[in-house]
Amino acid sequence: MSTLALSGPELKKTIAIARKKPLGFAFSPGSKDSEHILALDRRKSGEMLGRGVKKESGSSRVAHGSCEVVGKELRLTCDRTLSGMAKKLKKFLKANKVPLNVVVLDADGTEIESDIGDLDEDGTDDAAQAGDAEALAARWLAVRDRLAAAVDPHLGRTDGTSAKIAAVWDLAGTKAGAGEYTAALQCAAALAKLLAAAGKPEKLAPENPDTGEIAMDITRKRAFLVTRWKQVPGEIKVEIDALIGAVEARLPYERPAELRGAINARVSDLIRDMVGQINDAVDRSVSDGDGQYGAVARVAATLKSEIRCNEVVQALRQNGLVDGDRFETVFTDALDEISAALTA
């Protein structure tokens, strides 16, 4: 009997820990589903687990790295991967009464493969059952349109960073084309981070730049910043509505109407504060003639760190009724997209 392989209640218990913190993982597929070995540990690294699983399985086919559970997805960031592991793992988890979608990422966070949907006992996709498919599609289209301008300068270039951006962009489009909008949005989130880190590909500046063109570029960027940030209240309202709906259905004695009012007030204060900081930074950049909006980029980076520690956001993330991650990513996605647009 393996001392590392998890299954049944023990697997379910360990997966619950992965909802709170990343764990090391190792996975070796067997010739039968029942012979798969999945090891998870909060202290051991994936590499260490991989050595143990390799010894116990007698197979060199071992993937390892770190993992965490986000919403209804088990996300595996791999130092070593195996082809087809997303499908095998999802089936293994379901057999152990731990229904989760599986997303496999490389060490840089780029999606390699995934198996999304079909979590219910009757085989009905969760998103479709909840009527979320159209909302996911609309969200993908909006994100795609916002990222397109920043991606375009990288297309057709052969340097490593631009090639990776193009590959993730293509993968996102492929996933969306197949109707896998959750996976497409995951690619888009990774893409926004790549774009923010990469900046715009260098090009020779003209000896006598057209100041009118520069002014127009600054104006366009400011318009994008203002427009994008105005979308945040509507996006957060969708998440609040979902939470209050769950409270009304399951905890009506918690006075949902009062709870909505309290949440709206706290979130509105948070948004006003963030908008104020963004607008001040925009004004500084425009005043300085900074077409790259350096002040805004710095403020956006600071706000991303602050939002993760904000007590209101943390409380909403841990609500226990609906997937709380979007209460954070509504803000961080917007900030990532703004940072990417600054260098477009």
Strand order in the sheet with 63-70: 37-41, 23-28, 63-70, 73-80, 101-105, 111-115
Task: Please check whether residue 154 lies inside any domain of the structure.
Answer: yes
* Overall number of domains in the chain: 3
* 3 within some domain: no
Return d(Cα 16, Cα 261) in angstroms, integer: 31
Show the tokens assigned to 312. 């209101």
Domain span holding position 224: 204-344
Residues 78 and 137 in one domain: no
247 and 329 housed in the same domain: yes
d(CA 322, CA 253): 18
Average pLDDT value for residue range 65-76? 89
Highest mean pLDDT among 78-92, 115-129, 151-165, 239-253 belongs to 78-92
Note the pLDDT tens digit of each residue in 169-209.
888 888 877 778 788 888 888 888 887 777 665 553 444 44
Q: What share of the chain is helix, strand, coil (3-state, %, to 5)?
A: 60, 10, 25
Contact indicator for 149, 344 with CB cutoff of 8 Å: yes
User: pLDDT, tens digit, for every residue of 9-63?
Assistant: 889 889 988 888 889 999 999 888 888 999 999 888 899 999 999 999 899 999 9
Same domain, 336 and 268: yes
Instruction: Assign 75 to helix, strand or coil.
Output: strand
Same-domain check for residues 135 and 74: no
Domain assignment present for 320: yes
Return the half-sphere exposure (C-beta side, CA atoms, 13 A cut-off) of residue 194: 25
Residues 169 and 92 in one domain: no
Residue 123 lies in a domain: no
To which residue do tokens 């509504």 refer? 330
Contact call for residues 282 and 225 (beta carbons, < 8 A): yes
In a domain, 209, yes or no: yes
Residues 193 and 258 in one domain: no
Mean pLDDT of the chain: 79
Does residue 31 lie in a domain region? yes
In the listed set 80, 115, 150, which residue is the last one of a domain according to the structure?
A: 115
pLDDT value at residue 52: 92
Q: What is the per-residue pLDDT across 213-239, written as a single tens digit (0 to 9) for each?
A: 544 555 666 666 667 777 888 888 888
> How many other CB atoms are found less than 10 A from the CB of residue 162?
18
Q: Is the domain of 95 the same as that of 157? A: no
Pair (297, 192) in one structural domain: no
What is d(CA 92, CA 6) in angstroms, rounded to the nearest whole number?
A: 11
* DSSP of 83-102: TTHHHHHHHHHHHTT---EE
Mode of pairing for the β-strands spanning 101-105 and 73-80: parallel
Does residue 120 belong to any structural domain of this protein?
no
Query: Shortest CA distance to 307 belongs to which of 264, 283, 340, 277?
Result: 277
Residue with the two structure tokens 């399951």 = 250
Strand pairing category for 23-28 and 37-41: antiparallel
> Which of 202, 221, 236 is the last residue before a domain boundary?
202
Q: Which has more confidence, 106 or 2?
A: 106
For the chain, percent of residues with pLDDT exceeding 90: 17
| Judgement on whether residues 341 and 220 belong to the same structural domain of the protein | yes
Confidence class for position 125, pLDDT limits 50, 70, 90:
very low
Residue 68's SS3 state is strand
pLDDT recorded at residue 295: 77
Which of 202, 232, 252 represents a domain boundary (last residue)?
Answer: 202
Confidence (pLDDT) at 330: 85
Is 150 inside a domain boundary?
yes
Q: Are residues 195 and 243 both part of a single domain?
A: no
Looking at residue 204, its pLDDT comes to 35
Same domain, 195 and 153: yes
Cβ 235 vs Cβ 136: under 8 Å: no
Q: Are residues 219 and 317 in the same domain?
A: yes
**CA quadruple 55, 58, 63, 69: dihedral sign:** negative
